[in-house]
Structure 1
Amino acid sequence: MDTSKVQIHGEECVQNVGPSKIKVVYQRIGNPALPPVFLIMGAGAQMINWPEGFCLELARHGLHLIRFDNRDAGLTTHFSNAPVPDFSAIQSGDFSTVTYTLSDMAADTVGLMDALGYDRVHLVGASMGGMIAQTIAIEYPERVRSLTSMMSTTGNPLVGQPDYSVLASLGSPPYDDRQAYIDWQIQSRKAIGSPKYPLDENAIAKISGLAWDRDHDPLGMLRQAAAVIKSGDRTEQLRSIKVPTLVIHGEDDKMIDISGGRAVASAIPGAELVTFKGMGHDLPKPLWPVLAEKIAHLIHRVESSS
């Protein structure tokens, strides 16, 4: 495998993106002349949480990747003056403390496409990023060439629920101490990661430290989680998606149960569902080659048919 020729460009920034006129920080990986693929990360995660090795693996298949920080993550605009989400009220239907929805985050992504000059792109979203990608395919179908939804769900509360006993054992991430944050991230990955594959604690510590240095806003993930809840169930809207779709899910996912991935694949006409035994809510290194191959195969099939 030769990834030495894949260029990783430096981080860049664009202002006044989308209807909300936010700042978005992004990074290109690979040759800009190749098919564009937008990588959309999950709640509380930054663009650097797409493992560099996985990105190189994907780019090696003849793709140009754009990974970016969502609003309220990393170096993209944070809504720090917004109300603190009141989850007790939110769960009872009072959304007065919810600042935005997945539709707003979808509009951010389309705004980034506009800023970078792309009419249509391929979307790959993980967890909440999968929900955002689904929302783009629903609301902006003309902007999407293919959709890959990974470890995600439909918004239907009857599917894709986490193992709350696992989450309760973790508690909330500490945002007042860098080393404690790193330690918590390692424990979190042990709890919700892939039981079949050994965890590289040094790699997790490195990326967690970098994430802390870039941003450790304690409320950013809460605002994103509130957006997910307010956005509700997309099942019926997912039936309208016409673009070729791949759904990937781990069979041992403790954060979003595999029933969520199955529901996404069932709702989107013609979607292909690929599941992996022993995979949890992460991207284990031994699976990078097969994951990249599956995603790239879909994208190149679409590209060759146009």
Structure 2
Amino acid sequence: MRATANGIEICYEVFGEPDGRPLLLVMGLGMQMIGWDEDFIGMLVDRGHQVVRFDNRDVGLSTHLAQEPDLMAVLSGDRSSVAYTLDDMADDTAGLIEALGWDAAHVVGASMGGMIVQALAIRNPGRVRSLTSIMSTTGPSVGQPTEAATAALFAPPAPDRDAAAQRAVETWRVIGSPGFAMDTDRVARVARESYDRGYDPAGTGRQLVAIITADDRTEGLREVTVPALVIHGEDDPLVTPPGGAATADAIPGAKLLTFPGMGHDLPRELWPEIVDAITELTGRETAG
């Protein structure tokens, strides 16, 4: 399905019944909505949610922009190639919530998605019922990646479909969870499906520039009043644990839930506890 929001077209999917608690999943850098596993979504649906996942701008089947990002220029302070900001992506999300016919939604964001839902709660507090920020941070200066994770992030684009799948496996071996076995078949499958749906390295570059040039959100997060949950892996090399701690410290009353052995992904073995924590949060808002 498609919706017009904030001047762009957003591709989305809906799971669950209309009377479920509205829950919006926001994915991270360069990742399409199919990165949210349908089994994980099914667990959320079984716990009383109507779940929507969607492609952010510049990935998958949502609107792709044309401006070429110049990462080196941005790192040198020249922002002339910045096509949009995380605030723009937060406004996309607010527009999608409205287009869905929801007054407000429980929002769950992973990595860059966590940054987007933080910005959404700051800019459009009336659209947010509860906030869950997973493996994310308050700004570019907190939770900085390790050298190995940085190298994986800045690897050159894959030249074809099979190379994209292999690159994904190699990347998740670096940034994934050292305490849990990686499902290499799933990683490769999602990478191939993503390639087929819309492979756009320049789009990922534009998203990365939006992250790098974002303002710190700490002061804005201090004004957030909705129930909040922060989830982080204790072995995350891409957004290191101080990012999660800073997020939880900034949001009044936020709960910080960390997992040993978890890196920059969501191991299947942790899904029950993560879904329980999200459901407790959304239920607390509803009861309140």
- Equivalent in the alignment of 1:64: 50
**Does 1:13 pair with 2:13?**
no
**Does 1:88 pair with 2:77?**
no
Q: CA deviation at 1:88?
A: 2.4
Q: CA deviation at 1:173?
A: 4.8
* C-alpha contact 2:237 2:264 (8 A) present in aligned 1: yes
Q: CA RMSD in A?
A: 1.2
Residue from 57, 68, 93 that aligns with 1:109 = 93
* C-alpha contact 2:230 2:248 (8 A) present in aligned 1: yes
Matches of 1:259 and 1:146, distance apart in 2? 22
Residue from 268, 276, 279 that aligns with 2:262 = 279
Residue from 71, 77, 90 that aligns with 2:63 = 77
Q: CA deviation at 1:156?
A: 4.7
Matches of 1:200 and 1:173, distance apart in 2? 23
Moved over 4 A (4+): none
Matches of 2:128 and 2:105, distance apart in 1? 5
Q: CA deviation at 1:92?
A: 2.9
- Equivalent in the alignment of 2:287: 304
- Equivalent in the alignment of 1:49: 35
Kindly provide the amino acid, as one letter, of the partner of residue 110 in structure 2.
A
**Does 1:201 pair with 2:184?**
yes
Alpha carbons of structure 1 residues 47 and 155: separation in structure 2 relative to 1, 3 Å: same
1:13-45 CA distance string (max 9 Å, x none): 12x322xx1111000111121110000000100
- Gaps of at least 5 residues in structure 1 are 1-11
- Secondary structure at the aligned position of 2:201 is classed as coil
- Secondary structure at the aligned position of 2:258 is classed as strand
Matches of 2:196 and 2:230, distance apart in 1? 33
With normalisation by structure 1, the TM-score equals: 0.91
* C-alpha contact 1:127 1:152 (8 A) present in aligned 2: yes
- Equivalent in the alignment of 1:150: 134
Q: CA deviation at 1:166?
A: 3.5
Matches of 1:134 and 1:53, distance apart in 2? 25
- Secondary structure at the aligned position of 2:102 is classed as coil
Aligned residues: 288
- Equivalent in the alignment of 1:33: 19
- Secondary structure at the aligned position of 2:213 is classed as helix
- Equivalent in the alignment of 1:270: 253
* C-alpha contact 1:175 1:216 (8 A) present in aligned 2: no
Matches of 2:107 and 2:148, distance apart in 1? 32
List aligned pairs for 1:158-177, cutoff 5 A.
159-168=142-151, 172-177=155-160
* C-alpha contact 1:249 1:275 (8 A) present in aligned 2: yes
- Equivalent in the alignment of 2:123: 139
- Equivalent in the alignment of 1:252: 235
Kindly provide the amino acid, as one letter, of the partner of residue 138 in structure 1.
I
Matches of 1:69 and 1:152, distance apart in 2? 18
List aligned pairs for 1:224-263, cutoff 5 A.
224-263=207-246
Kindly provide the amino acid, as one letter, of the partner of residue 45 in structure 1.
M
1:130-172 CA distance string (max 9 Å, x none): 0000000000011111000000000051x21011233326752
Matches of 1:13 and 1:277, distance apart in 2? 38
- Equivalent in the alignment of 1:8: none
1:175-232 CA distance string (max 9 Å, x none): 3211011001011111110011101111111111111110111101110011112222
With normalisation by structure 2, the TM-score equals: 0.97
Q: CA deviation at 1:243?
A: 0.8
